[in-house]
Amino acid sequence: MTTDQEISMSVTETGATVWLTGLPSAGKTTIAYELAGRLRAEGHRVEVLDGDEIREFLSAGLGFSREDRHTNVQRIGFVAELLAANGVKVLVPVIAPYADSRDAVRKRHQQEGTAYLEVHVATPVEVCSARDVKGLYAKQAAGEISGLTGVDDPYEAPGSPDLRIESHQQTVQESAAALRALLTERGLA
């Protein structure tokens, strides 16, 4: 005989991957961590797959060629789908500059029957450059680095994302709230 507690413990939470794409310093990671805090406070299981951390631990050795960027995105997409299929809300603040790479991740989720949302943090390059969280824009301007996404390397903005966030026109809290509302609307939170 099962108890109510055992039954409630056997109910699995709906997982989902929320991919936040945008230029460097657009606000992707800041928004992801704000939303993660809100979701955790509500009792959801949440993981943030931060692009910088993934590069250090999962994709060490990869460069920034188109092929390496594609490989990096596919690795992240695989891990995200695996977690989401097991009831985790997975927030992925990763540039993923190429549409075909993001489409491949979306297709993998669709094939597995796992929810996937693409969010474009649509911050203009001028604003990103002024924020310059990691000093990348300054290094590129000084000729110390090349291949900066959106400056001297391409960024293919999503044509029809599930949500477009204009982070330069609203607060981090407002951006996270908009994303939280989308999850509710789609029955994912």
pLDDT of residue 12: 65
pLDDT of residue 144: 94
pLDDT of residue 5: 45
pTM, 2 dp:
0.91
CA distances to 95, 138, 154 from 141, rounded to whole Å, are 20, 5, 16
| CA-CA-CA-CA torsion sign (83, 32, 12, 117) | negative
Profile the chain (189 residues) by mean pLDDT over runs of 10 residues: 43 88 97 98 97 90 93 97 98 97 98 98 96 92 92 95 96 98 95
